[in-house]
Amino acid sequence: MTTENPLLFASTEAFGLPAFGALKAEHYRPAFAAAMAENLAEIACIADDPAPPDFENTIAALERSGRLLARVGGVFWNLAATDTTPELQEIERDISGALARHENEILLNAALFSRVDALHARRDALALTEEQARVLELTHKRFLRAGAELDETAKRRMAEISERLANLTTSFAQNVLADEADYLLLLEESDLDGLSEDFRASAAQVAQERGAPGKYGVTLARSSVEIFLQSSTRRDLRETAFRAWASRGETGGATDNRALIAEILRLREERARLNGFANFAAYKLDDTMAKTPTAVRELLDRVWAPALAAAKAERDDLQALAERDGANVAIGAADWRHYAERVRKERYDLDQAELRPYFQLDQMIAAAFHVAKRLFGLSFVEVEGLDLYHPSVRAFDVRDAKGEHVALFLGDYFARPSKRGGAWMSEFRGQENLDERIRPIIVNVLNFSRAPDGAPTLLSLDDARTLFHEFGHALHGMLSDVTYPLVAGTNVARDFVELPSQLYEHWLLEPEILRGFARHAETGAPMPEELLERIQKSRHFNQGFASVEFCASAYVDLDLHESAIDESFNALRFERESLARISMPEEIIMRHRTPHFTHVFAGDGYSAGYYSYLWAETLDADAYEAFLEAGDPFAPDIAERLRRHIYAAGGTQDPADAYVAFRGRMPNVDALLRQRGFAR
């Protein structure tokens, strides 16, 4: 098996891509076992080195270790999220705990930590470069946060907690995926009132693929269900779809996440207390820009008050429209999107059916590439004939202005039952310059509803914004130019990582970009100037709703991780009580309700950290104003500072220092409030 396992050998494929066509499910377990064994042997060599510790034989050696494991994991975790199978899900459940044990064996290795600790104690005398000093600091902190200074009993408990959490969060994610993949709202021709022709065509294809030819299918992919909720005139069907969407993870049976949430929270709290923190939120935020729960609440409170006032005014507008219609209804959560689209149409003469033909997927991809060329000198050439992991994935060779290879970019744009919901950026290979110049393989994963063969896939404006957002993350990975893997690409503080992505969204609505790329799917005509003006005028429409649904999720996330979780904990009751404290309007629900809040419970990434999008928006609103102040959205000198200090620098600096290096100062919340239409 070992000699036949493609995961255990350096790739000979173009661009160093994994040999996807040769991969089989049975390759993963032996590959992980071999990679972990190799990694532990590397660690033993470092920990037992008789030479006194120095940066090269300890920190740089740690950076060189685990490359095989990173390669195997890079393939497995990407495919488990994008094209999973029952076999991969079983492996995922098994391997998540094994990898947690493996990481603990390294981070709780006393001999290894003593070398790292000794170097950290005399760091000022080591004559390190700025990047090396940063890598040493982050490495030392990583060991401390894992419990390296605890006594042996506490270390064993930390290891047990880490392994159990890995298993629980994997189960949480798989449960949400199962609820999303299993659901299908089948419609007849008579159920389609209000739905556009392109949506009907996509829904017909979904039904065909799911074994119901002649019918129309609505899934729980956001690009499917949200458009249905906006457009359908059938209130009963909207309520059915909304109830399924809002209830993922709490439907009872094998995929119900409520018991998992309670155990995850209790274990996280215990881990924080073992590390000397009052609660998990304090532990998690200690390693971010925000630093404390108090700082997060201050930001949320600044936005919440004007957002709530705006949302109440928006609700009154929706209710007034319903009453003018003669509809004897009180606006509910399942109604909001439908009536909001109608108010948008009435106020700005805009609706999704009119806009979608101008936002073709291929054109929006080209627009995102064009902005990258204008800002950073990048070119994207599609590469045909590569053996990729799914037939719908596209590959692009990315080159700089000198023609040198920068990265391979993969675009995985369409929803399918085997793919996790949402949108994200990941990598099959990260960037580093430690021993050689290694360029990254970056992937954007989205869940757009695919049009029938031969027809262009049309996006909503929100879909197009999501595409730009994820491409901003991709650029953060592709433009990375650092020496050490620990600080490469998106390896930055969680509340800083959203800056490059959210900032990139701004260019979508630049008039120059809309004029050049928003072309009608049938006629090819550019977007009319008066339509472009209506889009610009509507930028702040429904921002009360958007801000309330986001902030509510961030408040609940923070509350969950600041609270003591006892045996009486009930996730849904806690959610209701948390929302009641902030006077959450009944007509709006959290953007991500607790039982399917994958940001927070499908891994540790955004736990106590969902606020990060808002924190980063404070930065991105101010950062974009630098271009506005220059009078040029592509000002070359500002773009160069942006590339050097933000997109290419990874985590080589403290994030606040990186932002100041770009902008000359830290921002305040005023730019964010202006961006959301809450201040003038």
Respond yes or no: is residue 436 known to be catalytic.
no
Beta strand 405-414 with 441-448 is: parallel
pLDDT bracket for residue 1 (50, 70, 90):
very low
pLDDT bracket for residue 582 (50, 70, 90):
very high
The residue from 470, 498, 562, 617 that is catalytic is: 470
pLDDT bracket for residue 2 (50, 70, 90):
very low
For residue 680, is pLDDT > 80?
no
* DSSP sequence for 322-353: HHHHT------TTTHHHHHHHHHHHHHS--HH
Average pLDDT score over residue span 132-152: 97
CB 475 within 8 A of CB 376: yes
Mean pLDDT of the chain: 96
Return d(Cα 593, Cα 588) in angstroms, integer.
Answer: 11
Return d(Cα 558, Cα 584) in angstroms, integer.
Answer: 16
Q: State pLDDT tens for residues 52-98.
A: 999 999 999 999 999 999 999 999 999 999 999 999 999 999 999 99
pLDDT bracket for residue 259 (50, 70, 90):
very high
The candidate with the shortest Cα–Cα distance to 576, out of 542, 600, 552, is 552
The answer for residues whose C-beta is within 8 angstroms of residue 387's C-beta and 6 or more apart is 13, 17, 19, 20, 21
For residue 273, is pLDDT > 60?
yes
For residue 542, is pLDDT > 50?
yes
pLDDT bracket for residue 557 (50, 70, 90):
very high
For residue 349, is pLDDT > 60?
yes
Would you give the DSSP letter of residue 519?
A: B
* pLDDT of 454: 82
CB burial class (10 A; 0-12, 13-18, 19+) of residue 462?
middle
- Which residues lie across from 443 on neighbouring strands? 410, 426
For residue 150, is pLDDT > 70?
yes
The candidate with the shortest Cα–Cα distance to 75, out of 131, 21, 122, is 21
CB 311 within 8 A of CB 588: yes
Q: At what angle do helices 86-107 and 130-146 cross, to 10 degrees?
A: 100
CB 257 within 8 A of CB 176: yes
**Could you tell me the pTM of the whole model?**
0.95
CB 58 within 8 A of CB 119: yes
For residue 560, is pLDDT > 90?
yes
Return d(Cα 571, Cα 576) in angstroms, integer.
Answer: 9
CB 221 within 8 A of CB 180: yes
The candidate with the shortest Cα–Cα distance to 424, out of 378, 375, 477, is 477
* pLDDT of 260: 98
* pLDDT of 19: 96
For residue 512, is pLDDT > 90?
yes
Q: What percent of the chain has pLDDT over 90?
A: 96
Within 10 angstroms of residue 455's Cβ, the number of other Cβ atoms is 14
Residue type, 525: A
Q: State pLDDT tens for residues 170-229.
A: 999 999 999 999 999 999 999 999 999 999 999 999 999 999 999 999 999 998 999 999
The candidate with the shortest Cα–Cα distance to 319, out of 334, 340, 344, is 340
